[in-house]
């Protein structure tokens, strides 16, 4: 498979953008549009594995942050395309992360976004798994979780609004503590979303 060029990877270069803030809207919009174009092009040409092979953990974190933003944007715009781009991004990020629990928290936002868009959330997750087969076990386990463990609140997030409309926010952004022992709870349940079949 043809490796990615430097030009193709340029959308994932530069400084890390905050996952819970839109920052400078014009800069972030250009970055997100470029990532969306990259993911759509690579998916259509069957080259997502080349992206997985090309990126490092910093670029993985940028994709995870992008996926978090797409969960919010999908609801704001009522646009399933943003949701699907977010799912593809978090699948690629999962394959290259140094801590998959960070991807797990974003799954809760994408699941909730699908619900708010009146989509078949489980169907969207299965479709994402088909786009990135190596992440299939990661996605397939989520729909079978107990509903109480699928909520954004269980992952430490809130649904709220800001000047631009609907948004998902980390609870600490509003001085509200996340659920008690969140990191430990994620670790305790991690056996349901391990990297089974990858080692």
Alpha helices in 10-131 (DSSP H): 25-44, 48-54, 57-77, 80-96, 101-116, 121-131
> Looking at per-residue confidence, does 139 or 24 come out higher?
139
Inform me whether the pLDDT recorded for 199 exceeds 70.
Answer: no
Give the Cα separation of 127 and 99 in Å (integer): 23
- Classified as helix, coil or strand, 170 is strand
pLDDT digits (tens, 9 = 90+) for 42-58: 999 999 999 999 999 99
Q: Where are the domains of the chain?
A: 6-193
pLDDT digits (tens, 9 = 90+) for 140-157: 889 988 998 899 998 889
Report which of 189, 93, 190, 112 is spatially closest to residue 150, judged by C-alpha positions.
112
> Looking at per-residue confidence, does 29 or 86 come out higher?
86
Sign of CA dihedral 7, 9, 12, 14: negative
Share the mean pLDDT of the chain. Answer: 82
CB-CB contact of 92 with 52 (8 Å): yes
82: Cβ contacts below 8 Å, ≥ 6 apart: 70, 73, 74
For the chain, the distance separating the N- and C-terminal CA atoms, rounded to the nearest angstrom, is 22
């Amino acid at each position: 498979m043809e490796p990615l060029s430097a030009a193709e990877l340029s959308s994932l270069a530069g400084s890390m953008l905050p996952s819970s803030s839109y920052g400078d809207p014009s800069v972030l919009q250009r970055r997100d549009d470029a990532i969306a174009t990259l993911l759509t092009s690579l998916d259509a040409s069957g080259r997502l594995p080349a992206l997985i092979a090309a990126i490092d953990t910093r670029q993985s974190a940028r994709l995870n942050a992008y996926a978090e933003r797409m969960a919010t944007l999908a609801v704001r715009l009522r646009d399933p395309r943003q949701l699907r781009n977010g799912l593809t991004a978090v699948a690629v990020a999962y394959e290259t992360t140094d801590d998959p629990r960070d991807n797990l928290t974003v799954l809760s936002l994408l699941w909730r976004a699908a619900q708010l868009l009146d989509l078949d959330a489980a169907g969207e997750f299965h479709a994402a798994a088909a786009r990135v087969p190596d992440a299939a076990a990661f996605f397939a386990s989520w729909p079978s979780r107990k509903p109480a463990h699928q909520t954004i609140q269980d992952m430490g997030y809130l649904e709220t609004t800001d000047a631009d409309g609907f948004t998902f926010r980390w609870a600490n952004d509003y001085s509200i503590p996340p659920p008690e022992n969140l990191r430990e709870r994620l670790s305790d349940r991690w056996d349901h979303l391990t990297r089974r079949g990858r080692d």
